Structures are given as structure tokens and as C-alpha cells.
Amino acid sequence: MKKLALSLVLVASVAFVSCKDTNKEAEVEATANEAIENVEETATEATEAIEETATEATEAVEATATEATEAVEETPAN
């Protein structure tokens, strides 16, 4: 009878640990998914910021080139 009781306790403890592991796995997976979403959002924001900065830089260079061209054209020839 003792062996039967000990066997049942052992089986119950294994089942309990297995359930805890499953819950931990689900929690880890949820955390990983959240982290992935955060990384994707940050990457998107960074890409948009880079594109905006590149556009502004291009516009500034084009404006400077236009001003320089106009200044050269306005300079009297000697």
C-alpha cells in the first residue's frame, strides 16, 4: 500500500511540474512575441526617421547647389 501511495505521489508531482513548465513556456513565448513586436515597431520608427532625415538632407543640398549656381551666374565676368 505504501508503494502505491508513493507511486501516486510521484505521478502527481511529475504532472504538476509538467503543468508548471507548460505555463512557463507560454509565458516565455508571450514575452518573446511582445519583444519581437517592440523591435519591429522600433525598426519601423527608425526607418521612417532615417528616410525623413535623408529627404531633408537632399533638399538642403539641392537648395545649396541652386544658390551656388545662381551666385556663379550673377558674378560678373572679368
What are the tens digits of pLDDT across the range 46-66?
999 999 999 999 999 999 999
Rounded to an integer, what distance in angstroms lies between the CA atom of residue 42 and that of residue 22?
Answer: 30
Amino acid 28: pLDDT:
82
Whether the model clears a pTM of 0.75, i.e. scores above it, the answer is: no
pLDDT at 58: 96
Report the pLDDT averaged over residues 20-46. 85
Q: Which three cell numbers, joined as nine digits, stand for 61? A: 543640398
Whether the predicted pLDDT of 73 surpasses 90: no
CA-angle at 29, arms to 27 and 34, nearest 5°: 95
User: What is the spatial distance between Cα 10 and Cα 73, in angstroms, rounded to a whole number?
Assistant: 93
Q: How confident is the model at residue 23 (pLDDT cuts 50, 70, 90)?
A: confident
Please give the DSSP secondary-structure letter assigned to residue 1. Answer: -
